[in-house]
Amino acid sequence: MPRDWNELNWDDIKFFLALVRRKRLTGAAHELQTSHVTVSNRIAQLEKVTGQRLFSQNNDGFKLTREGKTFLPFAEECERQLQLAATASLSDTTPFRPCVRVGVTEGIGNTYFSRIFSNWVIERDIELELVTLTKLSRVTQREADICVNMEEPDGQNIIKQVLTPYRLGIYAAKSYLKRSEPIIEQSQLRDHLWIGYVDDLIFSSALTYHREIGENLKFVFRGTTLLAQLQAAISGVGLAILPYYVANDHNLVRVLPDFWFDRTYWISATTDLHRFPGQSAVWQFIKSACNADRSLFMGNSD
């Protein structure tokens, strides 16, 4: 606890949280548009006032000490209360148009969400930011107000739900299939050319579905995004594993229709979601849209 509450600079909590989320002084400095020296000094001042060492440092950056982990939820609560106060103040004095940032895995973000949001937001007094990422986004790191990922999120002070299950199948262009041996059995898949992710840049274990077919497949094209792989498949490069909701909009042929891969999308936000009308509206829209489009995600095999 602070030796004297009058010595505590509430602004230092902002620097504390930025370093927690970015793990490095330079990252925190970039977020706060200041210098790494300033971040270091503000953290040192906070530790002096609290009388506790809040961070340790190693090659991976700054990590919270036991005391830092104890301090974290109180700092996050301060941040939330200040956000609520700012929202209430603005709504009482001027027309308030909330800005809601949604962090989404790039595949579903660049295809499904970009389409449904474009139609929905026109009739809403909301500024929507759709951040599509080739990584997992986290509300605990304030990368977004609402996140949609392929893995169950973890962390404190969050709500999380299964958004929708979805399925992927094996697809190819007609041009590829015409020049290749017919595929009748799963064992024949190892003899074909493949499209997939760059192995050392895969950001989620949910994307390693090729390993369920077998090791040492003959990859001819690898990309870091789903859209890159989709374009390669359309061009006739080889076989690609694609979500139903993506592949069915293109002139691709489903290979081995009785063989598929099941995955799940999760949605998460902070526990005070209900206190922000804009975020709540976006949350409810995402859930209702995905529920209505369940057949799109699961196909006729559901």
Whether 134 and 149 share a structural domain: yes
Whether 139 and 223 share a structural domain: no
Q: Do the Cβ atoms of 121 and 128 come closer than 8 Å?
A: yes
C-alpha to C-alpha distance for 164 and 174, rounded to whole angstroms: 30
Residue 276 in any domain: the answer is yes
> In terms of DSSP bridges, do strands 61-64 and 127-133 run parallel, antiparallel, or are they unpaired?
unpaired
Element containing residue 255 per DSSP (H, E): strand 253-255
pLDDT for the residue numbered 87: 60
Mean pLDDT value of segment 100-104: 93
148 strand-pairing partners: 104, 267
Q: At 60, which CATH number?
A: 1.10.10.10
> In terms of DSSP bridges, do strands 158-172 and 239-243 run parallel, antiparallel, or are they unpaired?
antiparallel
Q: What is the pTM of this model?
A: 0.72
Number of structural domains the chain divides into: 3
The residue written with tokens 């989404």 in the block is 104
Q: How confident is the model at residue 301 (pLDDT cuts 50, 70, 90)?
A: very low
Residue 301 in any domain: the answer is no
**Ramachandran category for residue 127: left, alpha or beta (phi over 0 → left; psi -120 to 50 → alpha):** beta
- Phi/psi of residue 235, each to 5°? -80, -5
Whether 27 and 86 share a structural domain: yes
pLDDT tens for 198-224 read 999 998 999 999 999 988 899 999 999
> In terms of DSSP bridges, do strands 127-133 and 99-105 run parallel, antiparallel, or are they unpaired?
parallel
Task: Look up the domain containing 34 and give its range.
Answer: 5-93
pLDDT for the residue numbered 169: 97
pLDDT tens for 47-90 read 988 888 999 988 889 999 999 888 888 888 787 777 766 666 55
Whether 64 and 126 share a structural domain: no
C-alpha to C-alpha distance for 110 and 249, rounded to whole angstroms: 14
